[in-house]
Copies of this chain bind each other. A is one copy, B any other.
Amino acid sequence: MASKHLIQPRTLKGFKDYLPAAMIPREWLIETARGVYRSFGFSPIDTPALEYAEILLGKGGDESDRQVYRFVRGQREIALRFDLTVPLARFIAQHEHTLGLPFKRYHIGPVWRGENTQRGRYREFTQCDFDTLGTDGMLADAETGLVIHELFRAIGFERFTIRLNNRKVLSGLLETLDLKQQAVPVLRALDKLGKLGKERVTEELVSAAGASPAQCRAILEFSAIQGGPREILDAVEPRVSGSPLGAEGVAQLREVVAGLEAGGVGQDNLQLDLSIARGLDYYTGTVYETFLGDLPDIGSVCSGGRYDDLASTYTKSHIPGIGASLGLDRLLAAMEELSMIEPVATPAPVFLPFFCADRGPDYCRLAMSLRRAGLATELYPNPRKLGEQLRYAGRRGFKVAVIIGEQEWADGTCQLKQLESKEEERLPVSDLVSRLLELLAP
């Protein structure tokens, strides 16, 4: 067998392995999101990775955008899901009568897109979505923001901003100004305000949206309104009161803001921004984005909004809803950059070296007693030299080693070594659990 030709171990371009040091914070973040979603009554679902291509792409759907992995098997054209929203639409259309509405679900799972990998994007990534379907009540919109707020607090952030908008307000203004048909070029121009300044944006409003000087002035005044959410709404209300849509947008925002404030979202974490253009073709009311105070440039790490009719491709039932999605990979990259992630490659804090070869069962017994006390413990499997075992433990990132040799087995003591500080202490084995719980308390 020595001359056997080896296959070079490697992953496909755009795909990657997660080693423990990357996977441990990833699992922690997913567990944290799951815990917050569940605390609001969102239920887990899962759907297949593979579906009929027609289901995922629609008839004659344009797959080039999404770079869908698609292939033929037997008689069937099948594809790998490229998001969790299209499967949700199919799912709710198929199971509506079993599930009943309203229906609150979360869905955490991998999706695949054969995108250009040059921008540091991967072709397989995990989405963490939550949605409330079958309701147009603004309490659902408020609770969506509360989920985002609780989630970022649970992760450990204090400095973050939830940006809130309702697309109806700007639409209402444009209706009032007789520019309703020009929403897309107006938003596109407004989006550049920070970069280009008022004058250049005015030029674009004139050239691309055909706006008059008065219309330009009104739009720029509108986008310059600043202050707390209520101040902004008070200033905006009279400007859109001529439009039922605009008035509805303001009223909805008032309800959402009241819910967010009652639910504990402070002024520092909430910002009303009536020009957020996100999801132009998709969201119809409330829109959310979330920015990190210490790393705003990485963009929104949790975004979502309200849609009018989710599943019209598959059912005549009209199913409105609201949802958002945590940008897992982007957030992990940010946490890494902000040194919020401890570089460890083991989920266990306690390391138990094995170095009296004939005492295997005794080590097993001790390890189990620590585990049953809630102390995750790795027992080294071979009776190697202690130094070698401790170097292994240091590389992995264990917090403490519990060292017991023949002497200690005989007299019922152990040596406890903190692996970073190298501090050592000797104590009776009978005190070990309580001492470890104390040392490892968060």
Contact = CB atoms under 8 A, between A and B. Distances in A.
B48 A78 contact: no
A263 interface: yes
A28 to B, nearest CB: 10
Contacts of A80: 49
Interface string A238-267: 000000000000000001001111111000
Contact of A94 (B17, B52, B382): B17
A27 interface: yes
A257 B90 CA distance: 52
Interface residues of A, number: 115
A8 to B, nearest CB: 7
Contacts of A7: 54-55, 58-59, 313-314
Contacts of A104: 378
B18 A45 contact: yes
Given A100-B392, A380-B102, A41 B364 contact: no
A380 to B, nearest CB: 7
Contacts of A99: 19-20, 345
Nearest to A104: B378
Contact of A47 (B17, B44, B140, B143): B17
Nearest to A87: B17
A146 interface: yes
Interface in A380-434: 380-383, 392, 395-396
B23 A44 contact: yes
A376 B43 CA distance: 11
A48 B380 contact: no
Given A9-B93, A93-B9, A312-B1, A364 B15 contact: no
A284 interface: no
A71 interface: yes
Given A52-B12, A259-B360, A43 B102 contact: no
B354 A139 contact: yes
A51 B139 contact: no
B348 A39 contact: yes
25 contacts: A7-B58, A10-B94, A12-B76, A18-B46, A24-B43, A26-B44, A38-B347, A41-B377, A41-B378, A43-B345, A50-B123, A100-B395, A100-B396, A104-B378, A132-B381, A137-B382, A139-B381, A143-B381, A150-B368, A255-B360, A259-B364, A261-B361, A262-B365, A263-B361, A264-B368
A130 interface: no
Contact of A6 (B26, B135, B315, B348): B315
B23 A46 contact: yes
A200 interface: no
A105 interface: yes
A128 to B, nearest CB: 14
Interface of A: 1, 4-12, 15-20, 23-24, 26-27, 31, 34, 38-52, 54-55, 58-59, 69, 71-73, 76, 78, 80, 90-91, 93-95, 98-100, 102, 104-105, 110, 112, 114, 123-124, 132, 135-140, 142-143, 146, 150, 255, 258-264, 311-316, 345-348, 351, 354, 360-365, 367-368, 371, 376-383, 392, 395-396
A380 B104 CA distance: 10
User: Which of A38, A95, A112, A364 is the most central at the interface, judged by chain B CB atoms within 10 Å of its CB?
Assistant: A364
A311 B59 CA distance: 45
Given A12-B52, A69-B73, A94-B10, A135 B381 contact: yes
A150 B363 CA distance: 17
Contacts of A4: 312
B15 A48 contact: yes
A4 B354 CA distance: 70
Contact of A364 (B78, B142, B383): B142
A43 B360 contact: no
Contacts of A9: 55, 90-91, 93-94, 311, 314-315
Contacts of A16: 48
Contacts of A362: 262
The 10 residue pairs across chains A and B that have the minimum distance between CB atoms: A41-B378, A262-B361, A20-B43, A71-B71, A15-B48, A137-B381, A41-B348, A9-B94, A140-B381, A137-B382
